[in-house]
Structure formats: C-alpha cells, structure tokens
Amino acid sequence: MGLARFLIVAVLTALAGGALAEPIRISTRSGVLIGEQRRDGSEAFLGVPFARPPVGHLRWKAPQPPPAWTGDRTALKSGPACLQISRGWNAADAARSSEDCLYLDVRAPRHEPGARLPVMVWVHGGANHAGSGAGTVESALVDQGVVLVSVQYRLGVLGFLSHPDLTQEQGGASGNYALMDILAALRWVRDNIAAVGGDPDNVTLFGHSAGGQDVGLVMLSPQARGLFARGILQSGMPGFGFAPRSLKQNEAMGLSLGEGVGARSLAQLREIAGTDLLKAAEHLKAPIDDQGFIWTQAVIDGVVLPKAPDVLLADPAVKPMIVGSSAREIALFDGNAERAIAWVRDTFGARAPQLLALYGLDRDPLPAADPLRGDAVLQLATDRMFRCPAVSVAALRQQAGGKVWRYELAVPPPGQAVVGHGSELTNVFDSPAEGRPPMQAYWAAFAHTGDPNASGLPPWPAENGAGRRLVFAPDGPRAEQGGEPACRFLTRP
C-alpha cells in the first residue's frame, strides 16, 4: 500500500507548478482564508484546518470543531502529514509529520459566482499507517469541472486504537478516530464548500487502498448520513477480505500498548510522545493472519461502525458506489506457496482442495505465472484481499437494491511492464492521453450525475446479479460478467 503514495506523488509533481496570479479571499465558518487564484483561473486553498489539533487531552478523542480566528489566515501550503514512521516510500511524509495534522486542501476550477459544482473528496492510502493528501488537489481531475478536496486523518495507533478506559470515558465505544476525522472533514465541506463554488449536496467520496477501505467504512456509518451522495472504492474494500475486529479485541491491543510503554493510566498514555507510541505499536498483535495489515482490519466499535461490514452493506440506505481493483495487487504469504497452501487448508478445511485446484496450487511444479495476473500465490492474494471483496461488495449492494458499478484494471501505467497496486492513480489524476484508460472521465461523470456512463464512453453496466464489471483493457474498456469461481470461496467484503 506504500506504492500508492509513491505513485500519486509522481503523477502530480509535474502539475504542482501553477504560479500565483493573485490572492483570493473566501469566508468560512471559522474565519477568512487567503488562497491563490492560478493562471488557469482555478482557486486553491491549502492547509485548511477542519478540526482542532488532536493533541494533549484530545489524543484519542473525536475531532473537535476548529478554533475560529480573527483577521486573515494564509492558506498557501499543505498542512503536515499525520504522524507516521518512515518505511522508505513515505520518508518525505514521515519527515514532515505531526500529531497536529487535521488539515485539508481544496482546489476549484474557474467558475462563475454562485456556481454549484460537484465536489470530490479524496482519502489517501498507505495501510492506515502512512501517507498524506498533500499535492492531490493539483490533479488534472479539476479540469473535469469538479471541486477537488484532499483530507488527512490520524494514522496507525493514533487513529484506530481502543482501550477500556477510552471506552468508559467516551460512553461505551472507542477507536475509529481516523474515520471520525474523515466525517469531520465532510462536515467542513458541507458547511464551507459553497464558498469556492462547490455543491454541498453533490459530494463524491473516493479513495485508494486503505483510503478506499476508509471510504467504504464511512459510507456504512450511520454518522455519515447526509454528508455525501456517493463513493468510489479503488483497490480497498470495507473489510479487505478479513474478519472484522471486535471492540474487546481492539481494547486488548490498547492494554498491550500501555504495558509496552509503561503507562499505568490513560492520562500517562496521553503524555507519552507520539513517536514513542508508534514505535511501541510496531510490536502489537491483532487477531488477523497477516500482521502487516493490522490497521486495515475493520473494528466494530459500536458507534462509528455499529455492525460488521457485510451486515451494514445490506442496508438499502447505503449510497451508490463504484468498486474495483487491478488485475494484480499486493502479495501475501511473503509470496511463499507453502504458506499460501497452509492458509487455504486451515481456512477452508474440506473445501480446500477445490480452491487450491483453481490456482494450480495442488500441482508440482506450480503453473507458470500468468502475464497479466502473476503467479498462483499472487493471484490468490489479489483475489483474497481485493478482487473477491469487490465482488462481494457489489453483490451485497445489488441484493439490497443499491446501485453499484464494478471495474478491473488490466493496463499498466506508462513505463511499467505489469499492472499493480496503485496503477489506476495515473488514470484518475493525470491529464487524459491517448492509450490511457478513461477512468478520469468515468469518475467525473459519476461525480456530476451519479452514473459513470456518459456520451463518448463505452457503456458500463451496473451490477445486476450476474457479476457484471467493466474491464479496462489495452484495447479499450469492455463489459464482462461472470467467470470468477474463486469468489465462491472468498466471500468477505
């Protein structure tokens, strides 16, 4: 999931050089912001606080409304990334990270006074423990007539931890503070986006990888009602194919963290340096079979997420969505066939031979790698965490009467030989170009009308119970359906 942040920065760096034409002033509920009007007529406001800094006694609490200010506040630079440890790919974000990080960026295209343009709110990826939203609003997506917003949210142990004392302090639930941050950012959009020509009643929430998961979970939260119109989940489903974590299980991790840092009370835990907490959290164990995805296991806290994702997906009130993934994504099991086979046998028991046979994992030697999907272990990993969860989400929403469109990306980005995790980012954010899948056009159509279909685009049929999807292939998008037998076994959303 680190690759996602790397790719999006590469895509947007060339677009970020819009020179200042003149200052521009808008009024928000907290005070006046001074942004810049670019030479192309677009308006940008960066580093806008949407909540009070979650530090000190506000650590592990729901985000509070931002403090008001008097006079003008300059909004020309993105805020710091949320506190994180460097894992190589995110070194730049880690170096400028801080617990004081609840800021958003906004960029609107040239518009007339009183405009009501569709709004797209981006949630960055990074396994819920790294990454940032900086640079995203420089995207050419704005040229499609949308107001683009990029939000940040608390990461890792600071964004997702529960603890029995927190649960008592907060009325019976704790954890999922990162999801609360996204909800707070959506409330800021509702209250202020009209100042830059955005329509608060036409908001599309979208994200990639862990950001896609967070979009999906926010869409399922009762607290999100009325804050957006639809969502796009790119290579990140609400459960990532894992069983959800209970509040008690998440509280146990909080107790382990306290023991690990020698804190005997919640007050002491809040006094410990955030970087020390992140280091200690590296040793936490979750009830999940791959600890590398510890912060992408959905937590049923009882309030933000009151029930398991598969139950909430059956609610007819859930908004329309686009879901999908790339033909190959992220490896699990350390790429080791023996580990993959052992997981299948442990998980599926008497049904395991059928699933192993689908991938050729019952053969010796194993089958040669598929040019598009990779070797058998990578195919299983992609299906387990991405493709089949997308199938399950689409099926559950269709059965509940919801509108859902599914896709699969089979075209690698420029300069790469194979498709992979994050390959869709160039298509969504970069300027359209010949040979590039028209994902940006579909996304913009969805934001404008609630339907990705538009004039000049190949038809994209919604799910109807037959496993419909749009495949972004080298020769152009084409509709397909059915033919995904592994997803009869891998059914978690």
Nearest to 209 by CA among 119, 330, 113, 64: 330
Would you say 136 and 8 are in contact if contact means Cβ atoms under 8 Å apart? yes
d(CA 335, CA 329): 12
Sorted by where each starts, the structural domains of the chain and their CATH numbers stand as 2-488 (3.40.50.1820)
3-state SS, one letter per residue, for 135-198: CHHHCHHHHHCCEEEEECCCCHHHHHCCCHHHHHHCCCCCCCHHHHHHHHHHHHHHHHHHHHCE
What are 43's strand-pairing partners? Answer: 37, 108
d(CA 276, CA 194): 41
| Amino acid occupying residue 436 | R
In the prediction, which pLDDT does 15 show?
43
- Catalytic residue (one of 209, 221, 326, 423): 209
d(CA 423, CA 410): 9
Alpha-helical (H) ranges within 196-318 are 210-220, 247-261, 266-271, 274-281, 309-312
d(CA 460, CA 466): 14
In the prediction, which pLDDT does 11 show?
42
Please confirm, yes or no, whether 421 is among the known catalytic residues.
yes
Does the pTM surpass 0.85? The reply is yes
Please confirm, yes or no, whether 251 is among the known catalytic residues.
no
Q: Which residues of 464-474 are buried (b: 16+ CB within 10 A; e: fewer)?
A: eeebbbbbbbe
Please confirm, yes or no, whether 455 is among the known catalytic residues.
no
Phi, psi of 21 (to 5 degrees): -90, -50
Q: Which residues of 48-64 are buried (b: 16+ CB within 10 A; e: fewer)?
A: bbbbbbbeeebbbbbbe
* pLDDT tens, per residue, the chain with 493 residues: 444 443 444 444 334 444 446 999 999 999 999 999 999 999 999 999 999 999 999 999 999 999 999 999 999 999 999 999 999 999 999 999 999 999 999 999 999 999 999 999 999 999 999 999 999 999 999 999 999 999 999 999 999 999 999 999 999 999 999 999 999 999 999 999 999 999 999 999 999 999 999 999 999 999 999 999 999 999 999 999 999 999 999 999 999 999 999 999 999 999 999 999 999 999 999 999 999 999 999 999 999 999 999 999 999 999 999 999 999 999 999 999 999 999 999 999 999 999 999 999 999 999 999 999 999 999 999 999 999 999 999 999 999 999 999 999 999 999 999 999 999 999 999 999 999 999 999 999 999 999 999 999 999 999 999 999 999 999 999 999 999 999 999 999 9
- Catalytic residue (one of 251, 408, 421, 423): 421
- Catalytic residue (one of 36, 43, 138, 329): 329
How wide is the angle at C-alpha 318 spanned by C-alphas 180 and 163, nearest 5°?
30
d(CA 256, CA 266): 13
Would you say 211 and 122 are in contact if contact means Cβ atoms under 8 Å apart? yes
d(CA 117, CA 142): 11
CA distances (Å), origin 493, targets 187, 210, 227:
27, 14, 23
In the prediction, which pLDDT does 21 show?
61
Would you say 308 and 314 are in contact if contact means Cβ atoms under 8 Å apart? no
d(CA 487, CA 491): 6
